[in-house]
Amino acid sequence: MNIHHLELFYFVAKFEGITAAVRKMPYGIQQPAVSGQILQLEEKLGIKLFNRRPFALTPAGEELYDYIYPFFSGLGDLEEKLRGEEGRHLRLAATASALRNHLPDCLETLKKKEPKLKLSLREVAPSDVHGLVTSQQVDVAIGVIGGKMSEGLKSEPLLKIPTVLWVPAKSKAKSWKELLEKDPYSKTGLIGKEALIGLPPNEILQQLFQKEFDRHEINWPVSVEVNSTDVVRDFVVRGFGIGIG
């Protein structure tokens, strides 16, 4: 395989499209040239690596990207590594809430101790945290832990944040039990009185809530699904229902 073709594919996969890759690559190359060389790579391998519109890696493309990512993503730090300075670059991934509310103070303290430290911060969904560390795309990831860690990883608790149900300011409810009523289709079950605003089912926080709902025999499916707890809170303020957080 042509190593340059692999590098072009790396950038196309990283930036999710040929047009974006041409715009963001560290060196100049025309879009037709990239398209042509990617086609050569696909012909050489005998497989399709990604769908063009909308952009999406095929299973084979995902496997190839995961395989070449550690090499090409590390080229930018090669000079530092050869000089023995790789320990001064920290690649960190965290959820939007952690990046905004918790990390700035911690990183400010760290920078005072290590003024030459280079930081690469990446905002990610909670469900992506483990995968980024195991694939060595980041050095450290901060997020919600729910259950066992993946093999080869270790965790260190930083802080404990209680789970809550967000209610509109005008709500008179004093406890979560006041947000529920008897389920007419169950002898012992309960249902929510209002719509529930939550996260996708693969998100750890949503899974933690669902586990507790099941334990208390609460049937309260998500009516409004959003992608972050910040958006959950915004929708609660606007009166769409009760939100998890």
Give the pTM.
Answer: 0.56
Domain span holding position 217: 165-244
Q: Residue 115 is part of a domain; what is its CATH number?
A: 3.40.190.10
Please report the pLDDT score of residue 92 as a whole number: 92
Buried b (16+ CB within 10 A) or exposed e, 28-63: eeeeeebbebbeebbeeeeeebbeeeeeebeeebee
Token pair for 103: 């990390």
pLDDT at residue 240 in the model: 96
- Are residues 237 and 178 part of one domain? yes
For residue 85, the model assigns a pLDDT of: 56
- Judge if 207 and 222 occupy the same domain: yes
Indicate if 217 and 236 belong to the same structural domain.
yes
What is the dihedral angle through the alpha carbons of 133, 136, 137, 142, rounded to the nearest 10 degrees? 20
Same-domain check for residues 209 and 172: yes
Show the tokens assigned to 182: 């008897």
pLDDT of residue 84: 62
Pairing of strands 222-225, 196-198: parallel
Q: What are phi and psi of 141, to 5 degrees?
A: -130, 140
CATH number at residue 17: 1.10.10.10
Q: What confidence score (pLDDT) does residue 166 get?
A: 95
Tens-of-pLDDT digits for all 245 residues of the chain? 899 999 999 999 998 899 999 988 888 899 999 999 999 999 999 999 999 888 999 999 999 999 998 888 877 667 666 666 555 788 899 988 788 888 888 888 888 888 888 889 998 887 777 778 877 788 888 877 766 666 677 888 777 778 899 999 999 999 999 999 999 988 889 999 999 999 999 888 899 899 999 999 999 999 999 988 889 999 999 999 999 98
Q: Is residue 153 situated within a structural domain?
A: no
Residue 147 confidence (pLDDT):
62
Q: How many residues does the chain have?
A: 245
User: CB under 8 Å to 206, separation ≥6 — which residues?
Assistant: 198, 199, 200, 222, 244
Whether residues 66 and 103 share a domain: the answer is: no
Q: What is the pLDDT of residue 88?
A: 76
Q: In this structure, how many other beta carbons lie within 10 angstroms of the beta carbon of residue 95?
A: 27
Domain boundary among 33, 48, 73: 73
Q: Provide the number of structural domains found in the chain.
A: 3
Q: Which residues have a Cβ under 8 Å from the Cβ of 97 and sit 6 or more positions away?
A: 228, 229, 230
CA angle 65, 35, 10 (to 5 degrees): 20
CA dihedral angle for residue 145, residue 150, residue 152, residue 158, rounded to 10 degrees: 0
Write the CB contacts of 216 (distance below 8 Å, at least 6 apart in sequence).
190
Helix axes 59-73, 3-15, angle to 10 degrees: 100
